[in-house]
């Protein structure tokens, strides 16, 4: 693909690396401020896929022009990756860097580029870092800027995030999490899972939440990064699993109970054995197979890190009758091999695939996943279902179960009746208007 003159004139990654090395050395030698800005074109891969690489090149060209105009000649700018650009701002402290980032964001966010019968509004996510606060070597500063850029994308894109703010946020959230663990304010919220064939509520998933001292509820997305940094993930798993087991003991509800388990908890065998003892108290018969089961969810990432350890630590649970679910299936690893190596009962299809199920290629992938699972006697479950159109396609494929905001959000310690009342109006009023498949009332 031919590249435009604007793109060609940008400094290469190799030259950028050398320029950053010189800038860091100068900043350390004479004590002048240095800022680094890493920005990425939002959804650039999707733009290329939807409108073609020629249009993608037009987007690059317009972004280059806008960046040059907004930042001026004093800023060194180069293409760092496919959709990423690195800006080196010598003699520029935090306040000036933020001003430059805002100017860049405003210049690019105003771009409207015609494509076929669409008009594409280009946006960028920006990560900021500076020396010496975020590091003194090129690699340290780049790592800080990259983490800030990742956080900007995680928050919804078209954001400016500074590395120093990110660090403060993580430390602040870590303190909140530690206090919540000490005060038993890390609690499960239960999200309903629905049988797509009958419209009935068949299961629930326990999801971690923090209840703050002022009564707010924080989702896992807000504190799990801090949990990883502070090595507290296993404690969260432990509390949520115990709470789910206690719920099973105290409530006579004929539901399957899904709980997540991390690689962090798998590295604590003593806690796992205590959990198994609690499971045996919660399911007092000969095995969990005689009642609605407890299902432990593991992700492909955890299996990839140590398959043998995962299998060894979960074996006593499986022997007792606890079932396994493979979460985020299709997220990019050796998915199908795990189906051969583990006694998986449920397959939770990655939500990123479900969000794109209207695309023919993705629909074919989901259909293939379901076909393999069904042939193995595995129940398929779609995550992050949000629209009736997605439900219709999933039913057409034959997916067994589903969960997501379309059916109901996760609620704190609610009963089955509460779940049914909380189901979305679209579902509760009838399955696409089909009263024969309407959700049973409590």
Q: Which pLDDT tens digit goes with each residue over 12-33? A: 888 999 999 999 999 988 888 8
- Per-residue model confidence as pLDDT tens digits over 235-280: 999 999 988 888 776 665 678 999 999 888 998 999 999 888 888 8
Query: Are both 318 and 246 inside the same structural domain?
Result: yes
Percent over 70 (pLDDT), the chain: 84
What is the CA angle 383-388-392, rounded to 5? 80
| Of 12-21, 166-175, 357-366, 410-419, the least confident | 410-419
- Model pLDDT, residue 400: 97
Q: Which domain holds residue 152?
A: 5-170
| Res 1: pLDDT | 39
Residue 178 covered by a domain:
no
Range in 100-104, 154-158, 195-199 the model is least confident about: 154-158
- 408 in the same domain as 325: yes
Residues 223 and 301 reside in one and the same domain: yes
The model's pLDDT over 293-331, given as tens digits with 9 standing for 90+, comes to 789 999 876 666 677 888 899 999 999 888 999 998 876
For residues 20 and 118, membership in a common domain is answered with yes
**Final residue in a domain of this structure, among 111, 138, 170:** 170
Q: Is 41 inside a domain boundary?
A: yes
> Is 26 domain-assigned?
yes
Inside any domain, residue 293: yes
Mean pLDDT across 171-190: 92
Q: Phi and psi for 307 in degrees, rounded to 5?
A: -65, -45
Residues 144, 29 share a domain = yes
User: Encoding tokens for residue 440?
Assistant: 């049973």
Same domain, 146 and 279: no
Is the pLDDT assigned to residue 438 strictly greater than 50?
Answer: no
Contact 277, 226 (CB under 8 A): no
Q: Which of 147, 170, 193 is the last residue of a domain?
A: 170
Question: Within a domain: residue 177?
Answer: no
| 138 & 204 share domain | no
What per-residue confidence (pLDDT) applies to 288? 46
Alpha-carbon distances of 141 from 144, 281, 412, rounded to whole Å: 5, 52, 41
Say if residue 115 is in the same domain as residue 139.
Answer: yes
What confidence score (pLDDT) does residue 363 get? 94
Q: Are residues 205 and 417 in contact, defined by beta-carbon separation less than 8 angstroms?
A: no
Q: Are residues 389 and 297 in the same domain?
A: yes
Same domain, 226 and 310: yes
Q: pLDDT, tens digit, for every residue of 352-374?
A: 889 889 889 999 999 999 999 99
Within a domain: 179: no
Q: How far apart are CA 143 and CA 38, in angstroms?
A: 10
Question: In a 3-state reduction of DSSP, which class is residue 58?
Answer: helix
Determine contact, residues 111/66, Cβ cutoff 8 Å: yes
Residue 175 lies inside a defined structural domain of this protein:
no
The Cα–Cα gap between 70 and 139 comes to 26
pLDDT at residue 222, rounded to an integer: 81
Say how many domains are in the chain: 2
Residues 133 and 223 grouped into a single domain:
no
Question: How far, in whole angstroms, is CA 319 from its chain's centroid?
Answer: 31
Confidence check: pLDDT of 91 > 60: yes
Phi, psi for residue 31 in degrees, rounded to 5? 75, 25
CA dihedral 102, 103, 108, 109 (to 10 degrees): 50
pLDDT recorded at residue 432: 38
Residue 291 has pLDDT above 60, yes or no: no
* CB proximity list for 141: less than 8 A, separation 6 or greater: 20, 24, 34, 36, 129, 130, 131, 134, 135
* pLDDT score, position 28: 87
- Give the pLDDT of residue 423: 61
Last residue within a domain, chosen from 125, 146, 170: 170
46 and 88 share a domain? yes
Do 220 and 207 meet the contact criterion of CB atoms below 8 Å apart? yes
CATH number at residue 303: 3.20.20.450
Is residue 441 over pLDDT 70? no
Whether residue 144 contacts residue 137, with contact meaning beta carbons closer than 8 Å, is answered with no
Contacts 24+ apart (CB under 8 A), 133-139: 133/94, 133/163, 133/164, 134/163, 134/164, 136/24, 136/27, 136/28, 137/24, 138/17, 138/20, 138/21, 138/24
Task: Please report the pLDDT score of residue 142 as a whole number.
Answer: 92
**Which CATH number fits the domain that encloses residue 94?**
3.30.70.270
Whole-number Å distance between alpha carbons of 425 and 436: 16
pLDDT of the residue at 285: 54
What is the CA angle 248-232-307, rounded to 5? 75
């Amino acid at each position: 693909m031919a590249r435009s003159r604007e793109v060609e004139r940008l400094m290469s990654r190799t030259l950028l690396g050398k320029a950053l090395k010189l800038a860091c050395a100068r900043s350390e030698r004479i004590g002048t401020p240095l800022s680094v800005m890493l920005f990425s074109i939002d959804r650039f891969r999707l733009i290329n896929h939807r409108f073609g690489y020629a249009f993608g090149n037009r987007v690059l060209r317009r972004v280059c022009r806008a960046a040059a105009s907004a930042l001026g000649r004093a800023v060194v700018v180069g293409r760092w990756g496919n959709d990423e650009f690195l800006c080196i701002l010598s003699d520029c402290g935090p306040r000036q860097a933020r001003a430059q980032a805002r100017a860049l964001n405003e210049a690019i966010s105003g771009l409207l580029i015609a494509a076929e019968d669409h008009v594409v509004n280009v946006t960028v996510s920006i990560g900021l870092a500076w020396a010496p606060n975020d590091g003194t070597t090129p690699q340290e500063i780049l790592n800080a800027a990259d983490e800030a850029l990742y956080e900007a994308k995680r928050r919804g894109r078209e954001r400016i995030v500074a590395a120093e703010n990110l660090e403060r946020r993580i430390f602040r959230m870590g303190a909140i999490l530690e206090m919540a663990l000490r005060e038993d304010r890390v609690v499960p919220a239960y999200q309903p899972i629905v049988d797509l064939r009958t419209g009935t509520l068949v299961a629930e998933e326990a999801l971690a939440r923090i209840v703050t001292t002022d009564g707010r509820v924080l989702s896992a997305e807000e504190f799990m990064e801090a949990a990883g940094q502070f090595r507290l993930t296993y404690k969260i798993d432990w509390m949520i699993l115990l709470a789910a087991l206690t719920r099973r003991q105290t409530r006579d509800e004929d539901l399957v109970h899904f709980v997540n388990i991390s690689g962090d908890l798998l590295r604590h065998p003593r806690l796992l054995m205590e959990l198994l003892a609690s499971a045996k108290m919660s399911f007092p018969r000969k095995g969990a197979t005689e009642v609605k089961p407890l299902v432990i969810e593991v992700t492909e990432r955890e299996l990839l890190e140590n398959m043998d350890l995962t299998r060894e630590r979960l074996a006593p649970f499986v022997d007792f009758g606890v079932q396994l679910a493979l979460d985020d299936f299709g997220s990019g690893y050796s998915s199908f091999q795990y189906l051969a190596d583990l006694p998986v009962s449920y397959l939770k299809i990655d939500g990123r695939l479900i969000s794109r199920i209207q695309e023919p290629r993705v629909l074919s992938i989901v259909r293939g996943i379901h076909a393999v699972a069904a042939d193995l006697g595995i129940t398929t479950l779609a995550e992050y279902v949000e629209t009736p159109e997605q439900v219709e396609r999933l039913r057409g494929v034959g997916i067994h179960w589903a969960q997501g905001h379309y059916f109901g959000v996760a609620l704190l310690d609610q009963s089955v009746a509460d779940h049914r009342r909380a189901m979305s109006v679209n579902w509760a009023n009838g399955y696409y208007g089909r009263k024969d498949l309407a959700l049973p009332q409590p």
